[in-house]
Structure 1
């Protein structure tokens, strides 16, 4: 790490950090710094992630949050003795089930079973929306896949160097992390991580289609007014023209009914409220 340059925050999923078993100890001046080395080659002390607040605890000495992304959970702690009271004010605004983006420093400790466990000391936390969350998921998945692809290519060439990796498009940080992770995690199963990424992106696409279906249903019901309600079959046929499946229409109707935007007048007949 160059002196005077702040370390970048690594975009990371919970699964990647949770499966990390290697901590590097580096000396900076008179201080010893711990840095995580993940199976996918991320090296650092700071991370950036997004997720939903699934647990929240506060007492006189601390504020603790659990933030879950599509692959698992991050655990955050802020203590009263921490100097950054601006972070405390940010945390006090956060509520259960909100979607948030977090940047923070990673600390670790070893459990009784010898497993390394991680805690995040937040430096920044703010509420985010579904669109931003989807972008974060897609971008982080892309970065993960990019590193996995380059690790697999590197494994085919035992004599590969940092120079070869950077020449093929990797940054210096990526190249360093890839070579270190190959040595540190010789038996890591990248296929399982790829399966998680594929499932995540597939579910995200379904979620996006449901939002499109919701908009399409509301538009159709607005332009086709009938006191007795519009037939379910008519709604399905209209949305099929836009590439939305019947299952996605069903899910969208359930969501719209729950949100109070659509009313089922009688069996299989719907009207916009």
Structure 2
């Protein structure tokens, strides 16, 4: 190949590579909006809420460690493991006391078809959720073992992703002196991912407690940016949450969320 043609090809490759890399980053960033994407990730989500307790003086900081690992069972199905392990620091949630330690763990498994969502179709997964009494302090957990169904469904429409995540758990074992657990969770969400791998997400993490007939409804507005630290892709998130509804003694008004997610694309 003539020298001038070699230089032309090399120049084209250099010109196209950044755009190609940017498109790949945007695609990876959009996958994060999918709770059951075929993507290994380890999110760290930090939430700060206040307004707890009878006088509204309590505050809570929660670091949720949320590894997601999809197992490829065969050519047709994935089994996605999603874990939420909370580390909690709280003051005056129980009046005149402070607690620090682990909360209860929620472990979910979703069975999902690997070709779900092809050609713009519905992406879905369904399975079971289990609550494990891993709290290191009575005030940080339910002291109950729980289980129940979980499911998610979503669509990807260009740069938009929209759908919902659901679970319902009942207690079946644990400390007989503690209140039973009978709780529904519904998280509708919509997100937009830009070509620069910036994602804006609106969601509501609705919880209904059937035992106390009470609602907890924080509404979240989160901005995220996918960056590369060396060869490691990382999503950085920040945003606000507003408590539209909360149970008696629960949080209120505005709160904030920060996050960092380590990604391991296959």
- Scaled by the length of structure 1, the TM-score of the pair is 0.23
Q: Which has the higher helix share?
A: 1
Which structure exhibits the higher relative contact order, with contacts defined as CA atoms closer than 8 Å and separated by 6 or more residues?
A: 2
Q: Which protein is bigger by CA-based radius of gyration? A: 1
Normalized against structure 2, the TM-score is what? 0.23
Which of the two has greater strand per residue?
A: 2
